[in-house]
Every structure is written in C-alpha cells, then in structure tokens.
Amino acid sequence: MKNTVQRTVSPIDGSVVVERPLASDADTEKALARAVEAQKKWRPVPVAQRVALVRKMVDWCVGRADTIGEELTRQMGRPIAYTPNEIRRGFQERAQHMCSIAEEALQDIAITPGSRFIRREPLGVVLVVAPWNYPWLTSVNAVVPALLAGNSVILKMAQQTPLVAERYAEAFKAAGLPDGVFQYLHLDHGQTAKAIRDERIAFVAFTGSVEGGHAVQRAAAERFIATGLELGGKDPAYVRADADLASAVENLVDGSYFNSGQSCCGIERIYVHRSVYKPFVDGFVELTRQYKLGNPLENGITLGPMVKTQAAELVRAHIKDAVGKGAKALIDPTSFPAQKDGTPYLAPQVLVDVDHRMQVMTEETFGPVVGIMAVDSDELAIQLMNDSRYGLTASIWTKDAEAALRIGDQVETGTWFMNRCDYLDPALAWTGVKDSGRGCTLSRLGIETFTRPKSFHLKLSP
Amino acid sequence: MNIPEKLKYTESHEWIADNKDGTVTIGITALATEQLGDLVYVELPKPGAKFERGATIAVVESTKAASDVYAPLSGEVVEANAELSDTPQKVNESPYEGGWLFKLKLSNPKEMGELLAADAYKKSAGT
C-alpha cells in the first residue's frame, strides 16, 4: 500500500480544505538531485547576499500576513484574531534576528590570522520536517539559518498545513532565490524516512512529537548524520509567595490556553506556594471563564477547536483520569456552548487537587487544560518540576532575581524564565533536555548547528 | 499494535493469509488503517482480473489520504469483498477479518517465500 494523495481536514467543520498528490519516488529523486546541484552554486554566494534574499522572502510573507493567516486558520483552527501575527511577529522577528547575526556567526575562528583558523562550512542538503501547530515559527528556526549558512533546504511540512510549504516556495521565488536552493515535498511518514536514509541528506531538523523523533532517529541510525530534534514538553511554572499575582495569572492563563494549549512550550502544570494558592486559583478560573470558544474564523473567538477530534479525546481522557483519581475540575464545560464531546471543540479546564499519579501532571496533554498544585517550599517545587520525562521550558514567578537564579540552576530544562513564559527569544538558544530533544536552534549556536568545522593549518614558510 | 503471528506481510502494509487451496486472502494491516484514519471508499479489482506482483490492484481512500494497494503476489482475483462498497469502515474496525479486501489464485506460489513473517514486519514498520 502506498499513499498517493494527502488531504487536509479542517478542524473547523471536518471539510477537506487542501488536497495534494504526495511526491512520487521520481519527484523525490529529482528534488534531491536538484538540491545537491543548487547547493554547490549557493555555497560561494557571500553571506550578505544570502541575508538580502532571505530578508526579501520575509517581507513578501509579512505583506501577505492576513491572507496567510486566514488560510492557516482554515488548516489548523487557531482563531483568525491570532494567525496573522504568527507571520508579523514571531516569524519576522526570528528571521530578521538570524539575518542580523549571520555574518558574525559564520566568520572564521582565527587562531593565527591567515594560517591557522577554523572555518564553518555548510553541511549540504538539509531536510526540515515541520509540524502544524506553529508551522511558520517552527520551520523558520531551521529553514532560515540553514540557508544563511550556505545549505540548500528541502521542507517537508505537516499534512495539516501543506500550504505553508507552498507559500515559502512562492516567497523565495519572488525574492529571487536561485532555483533548487529551497524546495518542498509533500511526503508521508514512510517517504520521509526513506528520504532521511538517502545519502544526499546531510542533516535533519525535526520538530514534532517524541514518537516522531524516535522515527527520525531510527531512519538516520545507519548514517553518521546529525539530527536536530525539538520534541514535546510538560512545561511547569512555579508561583512563589512573593509573585505579582495579577501578572502571573494573566501570563499563565495565556501560556496555558493560547493555540488551545497546542504549544510545545505551553504551560501544562503550575505549582503555587500555599500562602497565595487560593487567590491565584480564583484569579486563574475567573480569567479562564472569559475565553470564547467557537468557529475560529469568527470575530471575537479567542479559543478555536483542537486540531482534530482524536487530539481532543486524548485531552478528555486525561481530564477523566485525573478526576477519577480525586482531582476537581473547576470549569463547567456547559458554560462553553460550542464544547461538544466527539468533536475537536473542547472547553478550557482548570484542575486542582492534582498529583503526579495523574496523566495530566506527567504526560504531555497538548490541550487546553492545566493542573494547579499547592507547594510549601522551593525545594518541593524544584523536585516536582524535575519529576518529568521532559525539559523544554520552566518558569518562576517572583520578585526575587537571586532566588530565580538559584532555583533555575537546579531545574532540568532547556530554557528558564522569570516572570514570563511561552516565548522564544531569537537571541537565545532554543533547546531541550531529556525527552524534549537534542540540539538547538535560534541564537548564534542555532546558526552553527547548520555548519561543520573545518580546520585550516597553513605552514607559510618551509 | 495487532499483528497476528499466523499471517504473512509486506513492507508496504498488506497482510496475506494462506488458504491452503492455492488461494490467498489479502488485506491491509491495522498499522496501515491507523495511519490512514477512517476509510470512506474502497475500489477493489474484479474477479477474473490478473495481476503481476507489485502492480496496483486496489485503492483505499480515507478522509485524509488516498492510497494504492499493491498485489503482494502474482495471480488471478477470485473474489473481492463486496460488503466494503457500502461499509468501507469495516477495514478500520476489523482489518484482519471482516475488512479483508480480495482473494487471489496464485500463479507463482514460490513468491510466498519472499513475504515477511510477523516479527520481520514489525521490525520493518518500526513498531
């Protein structure tokens, strides 16, 4: 059996919004051959010129942010009030930052100028495998630095958001990028694994589930190529007694429910000092009740459907598991009329009286539900934050910067936030520990990811 | 994942049951149906049609994909599962029983030796 056509089913109403033929074996072969040839010509292009082309691509996308945002809403269900900002804010901010640091990041490291130095060479053809939840934000982390470093790129975008790959191609073409330097392929899982096994692929940048990360690693197992794996999270927040509660509530509610909780660095569990637990929970519930769940194409909707019914059913199962083990659900789902079992429309939920026997506190839920637990000390908060197979981001809410640093040193995480969450700073390394993955993107290190060191040692006089 | 020991498999997710009378029954595996999602249409070959191994012999369509099914062995179609035209979801519900696709009378029984046992299929599918 071999898939020949992929269909994108909109979570809004179950209709097919995009249908595309999957690449044939011949299509894939052609793309790989073109990518190799194009990279040979792209590699000698000066970095400043690469930067200029990428900036034009970004401008093209930003100029069409409303159109791109609407088609993104139709593909994956995030409210239209937010989708254009994926282009205008995060996508643009990250791409522009990487453009601004590329020349410096790619300079030779001189030991003895002119005779002993380390050069950062491009790897060759980079395969970027990107997910549907933030398809522009996740792909830009790899597509842009890979190109800036002199690689060619093949993008395999998730089946849920194939139009993103096509818009990239249009944008790069309009910017004047030479043919073949950027290409996309619509592939299924088996075809993707086959491409990874091809000797012409020099690096795989994957963002997605732990299960997907394992599949990428298995496919690459017979080869000595590197893989960047940005996987899941079970990101905790710790609200200390000295926190600005109003700010903590506002930011953590947004961090929990934005994009229906379908964010790799979304807030999934919150530990609150017992002395401020009650006012924190009361404020959290009050703000959660203000969400408007419904058709994400309508004005005023702040919470859309989850990406598919199966995903919503998993979240419902986690809630049921928690309640069965003694948790209390503080939101009445019937107060969200659009909520309906058996559909992707799911009301947000706040669970208290939770503990780590419950799936909702230990497994990635990836939905609009959060568990809140009282703690009596920094030590217990650290222990609970670290009691997880994941480690993508964690946050502390306090006025005490010294305590934030001291506690942050003990938390197993890729990024440690104080008084903020659910944000990627393009100047900092985006990385994870444990099952959250390996490698990093963004920052200067995220450009180096797409290079290999080559040492030059010239004896200038015999 | 349900991968019955008594059946043979291909890397492309077809299963084959040897009926011990020169014919085999063929379907797609539970893993394949999981990847496809809910089937909405099945196009099956007509009895009497002959296929070489590797030829496209059937098409299955779900809400999220259309897929060609390959003939895992060479032979002549002796029966197709007529119930699937009205109830394609049977392939999802019961991939190894009520959801079988077609039966072939083998033209080259030696090809049976090249099919995968359950363990080898599990390995190839990464499960």
Per-residue pLDDT of A330-386, as tens digits, reads: 999 999 999 999 999 999 999 999 999 999 999 999 999 999 999 999 999 999 999
Question: Using CA atoms, how far apart are residues A295 and A303, in angstroms rounded to an integer?
Answer: 8
User: What whole-number distance in Å separates Cα of residue B116 and Cα of residue A185?
Assistant: 30
pTM: 0.91
Within-domain flag for A299: yes
Minimum distance, in Å, between the CA of residue B26 and any CA atom of chain A:
12
- The alpha-carbon gap from B120 to the nearest alpha carbon of chain A, in Å, equals 16
Paired strand residues for A329: A351
The yes-or-no verdict on residue A420 having pLDDT over 80 is: yes
A225-231 average pLDDT score: 96
Q: Are residues A162 and A22 in the same domain?
A: yes
Same domain, A201 and A274: no
Q: Same structural domain for residues A106 and A222?
A: yes
Q: What is the domain-level CATH number for residue A271?
A: 3.40.309.10
CA nearest B54 in A: which residue?
Answer: A1
Which residues of A are tagged catalytic? Answer: 230, 264
Query: Are A25 and A173 in a shared domain?
Result: yes
Nearest CA in chain B to A9: B64
- Judge whether A129 lies within some domain: yes
Residue B50 is predicted with a pLDDT of: 95
Facing residue for A1 by CB, picked from B63, B70, B126: B70
Q: Specify the DSSP element, H or E, that contains A157.
A: strand A152-157
Chain B residues in contact with A132 (beta carbon < 8 A): none
Would you say residue A431 lies in a domain?
no
User: Are residues A2 and B68, on separate chains, in Cβ contact within 8 Å?
Assistant: yes
Q: Does residue A204 form part of some domain?
A: yes
Is the same domain home to A259 and A288?
yes
Strands A109-112 and A440-441: unpaired
User: Quick one: which of A298, A303, A287 has its CA closest to A346?
Assistant: A303
A283 in Cβ contact with A249 (< 8 Å): yes
Q: Flag if A16 and B63 touch (Cβ within 8 Å).
A: yes
pLDDT at A65 over 80: yes
ipTM for the whole complex: 0.75
* A189 has a pLDDT exceeding 70: yes
Average pLDDT of A317-326? 98
Strands A2-9, B65-70: parallel, antiparallel or unpaired by DSSP?
A: antiparallel
pLDDT by residue (tens digit) across A386-419? 999 999 999 999 999 999 999 999 999 999 999 9
> A1: which chain B residues are within 8 Å (Cβ-Cβ)?
12-14, 28, 32, 60, 67-70
pLDDT at B127: 61
Q: For residue A237, what pLDDT band results from cuts at 50, 70 and 90? A: very high
Number of Cβ atoms within 10 Å of the Cβ of B95:
24
A131 vs A55: CA distance, rounded Å: 23
Interface test with A, best of B64, B91, B121 (most A CBs within 10 A): B64
Q: Looking at the partner chain, which of A7, A14, A218 has a beta carbon nearest the beta carbon of B65?
A: A7
Instruction: Evaluate whether residue A127 is within a structural domain.
Output: yes
Residues A452 and A361 in one domain: no
Residue A197 maps to a domain: yes
* pLDDT tens per residue across span B84-93: 999 999 999 9
Q: Provide the token pair at A106.
A: 């790619």
Residues in A lying within 8 Å of B, measured between beta carbons: 1-9, 14, 16, 159, 188-189, 193, 215, 218
Whole-angstrom Cα distance, residue B41 to residue B34?
15
Element (H, E) at A364: none
Instruction: Indicate yes or no: CB of A1 within 8 angstroms of CB of B64.
Output: no
- Measured between CB atoms, which of B64, B67, B126 is closest to A1? B67
**Do residues A365 and A321 both lie within one domain?**
yes
Cβ of A258: how many Cβ atoms within 10 Å? 19
Same domain, residue pair A409 and A295: yes
Q: Do A310 and A205 belong together in one domain? A: no
Query: Mean pLDDT, to the nearest integer, of A236-265?
Result: 98
Interface of B with A (CB under 8 A): 12-14, 28, 32, 35-36, 60-70, 126
CB atoms within 10 A of CB A33: 12
Instruction: Decide if pLDDT at A288 tops 90.
Output: yes
Q: Tens of pLDDT along B19-73? A: 999 999 999 999 999 888 889 999 999 999 999 999 999 999 998 889 999 999 9
| Distance set, CA A73 to CA A160, A166, A170, B105, B113 (Å) | 11, 16, 20, 50, 50
Find chain A residues with C-beta within 8 A of B14's C-beta: 1
Using the beta-carbon criterion (under 8 Å), do B66 and A3 form an inter-chain contact? yes
Cα separation, A148 vs A446, whole angstroms:
11
Domain count, chain A: 2
A1 — pLDDT class (breaks 50, 70, 90): confident
User: Domain containing A407: what range?
Assistant: 235-425
Residues A244 and A351 in one domain: yes
Contacts of A2 in chain B (CB under 8 A): 12, 67-68, 70
Residues A227 and A239 in one domain: no
Minimal C-alpha gap between B22 and chain A (Å): 23
CA–CA dist A211, A370 (Å, integer) = 23
pLDDT value for A190: 86
Give the Cα separation of A141 and A314 in Å (integer). 29
A23 and A127 both lie in a single domain? yes
Lookup result for tokens 């190529």: A225
In a domain, A430, yes or no: no
The proportion of chain A whose per-residue pLDDT surpasses 90, expressed as a percent, equals: 98
Q: Identify the pLDDT of residue B65.
A: 87
A132 assigned to some structural domain: yes
- B64 or A221, higher pLDDT: A221
Q: What is the pLDDT of residues A115-128, one digit of tens each?
A: 999 999 999 999 99
**Helix, strand, or coil (residue A355):** coil
Q: What is the pLDDT of residues A9-44, one digit of tens each?
A: 999 999 999 999 999 999 999 999 999 999 999 999
CATH code, domain with A84: 3.40.605.10
Q: From residue A266, how far is each of A77, A92, A245, A257 by CA, in Å?
A: 17, 21, 19, 8
Residue B126 has pLDDT above 80, yes or no: no
In angstroms, rounded to a whole number, what is the distance separating the alpha carbons of residues A286 and A282? 6
